[in-house]
Amino acid sequence: AQSVSQHNHHVILSEAASLELGCNYSYGGTVNLFWYVQYPGQHLQLLLKYFSGDPLVKGIKGFEAEFIKSKFSFNLRKPSVQWSDTAEYFCAMTYTNAGKSTFGDGTTLTVKP
Amino acid sequence: DTAVSQTPKYLVTQMGNDKSIKCEQNLGHDTMYWYKQDSKKFLKIMFSYNNKELIINETVPNRFSPKSPDKAHLNLHINSLELGDSAVYFCASSQSVYSGNTIYFGEGSWLTVV
């Protein structure tokens, strides 16, 4: 079955530290990959997405992610986090005719000021 | 203008009651969804509708009945509420589920069953 795994359940960083959140997916065909962010008490919103082309995609607020097909991975990175990046981060996958997006279990990021 | 709007935002009700959550999107999307987010923040698809037709029902109890009068609306009715139904319910939409597009979420409905 198709699935998305996020390895880090809770990450705690100090401001200015670098961030990398892991995401692996399970599907043998062509996929579309997403990272969504959910700030405390808010709804999910798109951070960045990969459909095709350059495997290094840049999103809002200085985030980027790299699609590595051979590793079935789509890790999220940011060189220097801020306190305002404290949020829940969800990796998601979909593909043509899937009928839905499959989400990972989320990673809680806490940035200490 | 809110792209995906759902009401009510907060709902506290007793076990055994019936309640509804309404959702509307003004993005012109073909596909709408209901997701459930539990206390551990896990996000699970419940239903997926494309042009008013049900295409995904992820083993949700039949106490949950979605209704889509048109492609811009997807309401969720829950019968005989149970304590375990307490969660945040997110309505969402995308241009077309068959193309694997970005999902746009509503602001959530916080349901508490006491």
pLDDT tier at B74, thresholds 50, 70, 90:
very high
Q: What is the dihedral of CA B89, B93, B97, B101, to 10 degrees?
A: -110
Task: Count CA atoms within 13 Å of residue A99 on its CB side.
Answer: 12
Q: Tell me if residue A73 falls in helix, strand or coil.
A: strand
Q: What is the pLDDT of residues B30-56, one digit of tens each?
A: 999 999 999 888 999 999 999 989 988
The predicted structure's pLDDT at residue B41: 87
| Beta bridge partners of residue B10, listed in sequence order | B110
| β-pair type (A107-112, B31-37) | unpaired
Nearest to A99 among B56, B90, B103 (CB): B56
The predicted structure's pLDDT at residue B1: 61
In chain A, residues with a C-beta closer than 8 Å to the C-beta of B108 are 43
pLDDT tier at A78, thresholds 50, 70, 90:
very high
- Contact between B112 and B33 under an 8 Å Cβ cutoff? The reply is no
Residue B59 at interface with chain A, using a CB cutoff of 8 Å:
no
Nearest to B103 by CA among B36, B4, B6: B4
Give the gap in angstroms from C-alpha B16 to the nearest C-alpha of chain A. 27
